[in-house]
Amino acid sequence: MKEQSTVVDEGERQAVEQGLLPACLLPPQRLQRPRRMLWLQGLLALLCWLWVIPAQAGSDSLRIGIQLEPPSLDITTTSAGTASEITYANVYEGLTFIDGEGKVKPRLATQWQVSKDGKTVDFELRGQVLYHDGKPFNARTAVFSLQRMLKMTSMNAYLEWFDKVASVEAVDDQLLRIHLTAPDSLLPYALALPGAVMVHPDTADTNAVQPVGTGPYRVKPWRRGHSVSLVRNDSWWNSLKPQIREAQFLFMTTSFETESMLAEGRIDVLSSVTRLTGAFAGRSDYVMTSRGVEGKQIVALNNARAPLNDIRVRRALSHALDRREYHGIYGPLIQAVPIGTHFSPFHPAYVDLVNRYPYDVERAKALLREAGVAPGTVLKLALPPTDYGRYGSLIVARQMEAIGIQVEIVTMDWPTWLDKVFKQKDYDMTVIMHVEPMDLNIYARSGYYFNYDNRAFKKIWEKVRAARNDAERNEQLGQAQRQITEDAVNLFIQLRPERNFIRRELAGMWEHCPIPVFAIENLRWQN
């Protein structure tokens, strides 16, 4: 008997592009090996761990293991998590960026000023900035980058954030002006997203294979199927040069390969860990560090389909949700953070709504009776091909059946899920992970697959966009969270626990950036 082989297909790529699946959750390519061979390889890995002395990390080099080779290295045309991990803040830079504390900071823009009516934003650009090929960055290249992005009606996953941009102009070499149709307090945040990085017109079309940016690292020729290596850009505009001279991102194609390389000390960092065996988690030469990627695990509900179009039914399902049962999905070593709304607990505007619908089977049954839903009513649960989907679906079914709802699990591959659920909205429920940072805006989109259309929420979201300061914006973000929770739009389960497994001597890791990123500029080896 052989282990089943699973390959990454185009449907899975599309799921990553839609922000519905972190790239690191795509099933790794597993080689078909007899069980005896797997047992022998496991024994060899254990012997390596016990007997092989790990290679000493170099003082200016780094080896990072990531779980999937990206389809492209142009993060303006793909939202694949691994593409951002490799290139965001390393190769490409935006006018702003989200730092290791999760804060929006200036990058290629040094400051910005908003007009009194909120409809014009002037960005003062950093001077003496060169692309990796020696060409200058200025307001004209910034205009090109933004205009190019605005024309990407189907390729750029972040385009929704720029719906209020009317036009952009270069006032002079160092002054960029953005005209808006209405005030948008989230514009600096939007400009920090991967889809808004600054590219040059001469190299934009080839960035997918050979990226050219302004960042602290240049890309060496891509070794397809093996690795991507970055080398320090000594012409970077920042006077504080990174300590790491070269970093190699190695694609971990099998779980056996990953564990073997860890055991032999051939990688310094394992990025985006959600599950790890006790043998490796107990190693004294590596430590587990936090990672701020915001994967919200939810049971999405079709708000337009009976009986889920009745708020009493959605609230009944919310009362049937016992989040404690989901904590074990990722194993005992990594604990998930429960959520009661579609928002990260690490954001300053987060409102803790976990107890809005306390686990209460009798209350759930009463709400179903009030809504006229008979015991034994069947709801179909669309199941995408993910570990959290497979494990989570069984928990969902058990909890829903405890209140009298029969769950029919319908397994789907990614192309089918994207077509039936995401595009056609032909489903009752589905277990899914939303990975884009601060993506509450999806609840304001007309025709989004939840089929949630609430004027009150849309008005709140407009107030979020029109806020003139952080306090005002955070207040409205809180109201937005409360609205979708009161409406029980979906069942909100937990924030996906994601960690980095790194050598103990390595310091300077970005731990709270919500974008999938492995920023190298602050990393350093400690003696």
Mean pLDDT of the chain: 87
Q: Which of 103-117, 183-197, 220-234, 432-446 has the lowest mean pLDDT?
A: 432-446
Residue with tokens 């103990």: 504
Q: Would you state the pLDDT for residue 107?
A: 98
Residue pair 272/68 in contact (Cβ under 8 Å)? The answer is no
Q: Would you state the pLDDT for residue 372?
A: 98
| 281 CB burial (10 A radius; 0-12, 13-18, 19+) | middle
CA–CA distance, 219 with 445 (Å, rounded to integer): 37
* Structural domains of the chain, ranges and CATH numbers in brackets: 10-88+208-293+499-525 (3.40.190.10), 296-495 (3.10.105.10)
Choose between 295 and 62: higher pLDDT.
62
Answer yes or no: is pLDDT of 389 > 50: yes
> 3-state SS of 450-515?
CCCCCHHHHHHHHHHHHCCCHHHHHHHHHHHHHHHHHCCCCEEEEECCCEEEEECCEECCCCCCCC
Q: Would you state the pLDDT for residue 48?
A: 42
Q: Would you state the pLDDT for residue 163?
A: 94
Q: What percentage of the chain has pLDDT greater than the value 70?
A: 86
Residue pair 430/281 in contact (Cβ under 8 Å)? The answer is no
Q: Which of 154-158, 383-387, 436-440 has the lowest mean pLDDT?
A: 154-158
CA–CA distance, 185 with 458 (Å, rounded to integer): 16
Answer yes or no: is pLDDT of 358 > 50: yes
Q: Would you state the pLDDT for residue 280?
A: 64
CA–CA distance, 387 with 25 (Å, rounded to integer): 8
DSSP string covering 237-262: S-SS--S--EEEEEE--SHHHHHHHH
Choose between 23 and 192: higher pLDDT.
192
Mean pLDDT over 45-53 rounds to: 41
Torsion sign over Cα 114, 115, 119, 121: negative
Answer yes or no: is pLDDT of 424 > 50: yes
Q: Which of 190-199, 323-332, 450-459 has the lowest mean pLDDT?
A: 323-332
Continuous segment of H or E residues that includes residue 47? helix 35-51
CA–CA distance, 227 with 22 (Å, rounded to integer): 19
Local confidence band at 279 (pLDDT 50, 70, 90 cut-offs): low
Angle 11-15-21 from CA coordinates, rounded to 5° = 135
Q: Which of 34-38, 112-116, 211-215, 509-513 has the lowest mean pLDDT?
A: 34-38
CA–CA distance, 179 with 197 (Å, rounded to integer): 19
Q: Which of 35-49, 182-196, 287-301 has the lowest mean pLDDT?
A: 35-49
Answer yes or no: is pLDDT of 4 > 70: no
Q: How far is CA 328 from CA 323, 324, 331, 336, 399, in A?
A: 10, 8, 5, 8, 15
Closest CA to 133 of 231, 229, 235, 232: 235
Strand ranges across the sheet with 491-495: 337-338, 491-495, 296-301, 429-434, 378-383, 406-411
